[in-house]
Amino acid sequence: QLQLQESGSGLVKPSQTLSLTCTVSGGSFSSGDYSWSWVRQPPGKGLEWIGLLYHSGSAFYSPSLRSRVTMSLDRSKNQFSLRLSSVTAADTAVYHCARGFCGGSSCYLLDSWGQGTLVTVSS
Amino acid sequence: DIQMTQSPSSLSASIGDRVTITCRASQGISNSLAWYQQKPGKAPKLLLYAASRLQTGVPSRFTGSGSGTDYTLTINGLQPEDFATYSCQQYYTTPPAFGQGTKVEIK
C-alpha cells in the first residue's frame, strides 16, 4: 500500500527558504501513470496546489508561486522535495505531498496523500 | 484560472441524515471534479472522481452528481465516521483548484 510521509523544518524565518521532503513507500517513481504533487493549506483556508513532478523529473508549478518554487525527485531514496524561497507569514500552512493519477490530459487527480506537516513562518 | 465555490462552509447534521454539499466552477470542467474527505491530522482521502465515480473502498452512501459548472456531493445516511471536512477539486485544467471546504459537524 502506498504511503507518503512529509518531513522537514517546522519553523522558518521570514525571507528564508522552506525545505520539505516527501518519502514514498510502497510505490515507484518510474511509472508514467503518476505524478507527484505538493499541496498546502493555510490555517482556516482551503487547499492550494503548489506544483507537480512528472515521473521524468520535469516540474510544473502554480503560476502564483512559480518564481519561488523548486521541486525535485531523488529516485535512489524514493523521495521528492519542495523548496520555497523568500517565505513570509502568508506561507504558514500545513504542507501535504500527494500522488496524482495521470488520466486523459490531466495528472492532477490526487489519489494518495501524506498527512501533512505544519510549517510556521515566524522570526 | 478556474475558481471553485463550495457551499455551505459548514453544516450541522445528525446520524442518519442526508447531507448535500455543492461546488460551482467558474467555467465548465467537463466532469473533471473530485471530492476529498479530511479529518484533523490525517491524510486527505479521495472519495469520488469524474464527478460521480466512487474511489475503491469508499462506502456507497457517498454519491456525486452534476455537469458543466455545478456539482453535488451527497452523503445518504450520515455515519459517525463521516464527520469531517469535505473539499471539491477541479482537475480539468492548470492550475488545479479546490473549494474552500465544508465542515460537517454533529448536531
pLDDT of A12 reads 98
pLDDT of B72 reads 98
B98 neighbourhood in chain A, CB within 8 Å = 46-49
A116 neighbourhood in chain B, CB within 8 Å = 43
CB-based burial, B39-49: b 16+ in 10 Å, e otherwise: eeeebbbbbbb
pLDDT of A27 reads 81
- The CA distance from A38 to the nearest CA of chain B, in Å, is 12
pLDDT of A1 reads 87
- The CA distance from B27 to the nearest CA of chain A, in Å, is 17
User: What is the mean pLDDT of the segment spanning B49-70?
Assistant: 97
Lowest mean pLDDT among A64-68, A75-79, B73-77, B100-104: A75-79
pLDDT of B53 reads 97
User: What is the mean pLDDT of the segment spanning B1-11?
Assistant: 97
pLDDT of A29 reads 76
Write out pLDDT tens, residues B90-99.
999 999 999 9
B21 neighbourhood in chain A, CB within 8 Å = none
- Residue A62 to residues A43, B12, B15, B61, B80, Cα–Cα distance (Å): 20, 34, 39, 34, 36
Cα B97 from Cα B28, distance rounded (Å) = 13
- Residue A64 to residues A44, A51, A67, A100, B95, Cα–Cα distance (Å): 20, 10, 8, 20, 9
Whether A47 and chain B come into contact, CB under 8 Å, resolves to yes
Which residues fall within 8 angstroms of residue B8, CB to CB, at 6 or more apart?
Answer: B21, B102
Chunked mean pLDDT (size 10), chain A, 123 residues: 95 98 88 93 96 92 97 94 98 97 88 97 97
Whether A54 and chain B come into contact, CB under 8 Å, resolves to no
User: What is the mean pLDDT of the segment spanning B5-9?
Assistant: 98
B92 neighbourhood in chain A, CB within 8 Å = 106
Question: With 0-12 CB in 10 A as exposed, 13-18 as middle and 19+ as buried, what is B57?
Answer: exposed
CB-based burial, B68-98: b 16+ in 10 Å, e otherwise: ebebbbebeebeeebebbbbbbbbbbbbbbb
Instruction: At A26, give phi and psi (nearest 5°).
Output: 80, 15
pLDDT of A46 reads 94
pLDDT of A31 reads 82
pLDDT of B29 reads 97
Question: With 0-12 CB in 10 A as exposed, 13-18 as middle and 19+ as buried, what is A107?
Answer: buried
- The CA distance from B86 to the nearest CA of chain A, in Å, is 10
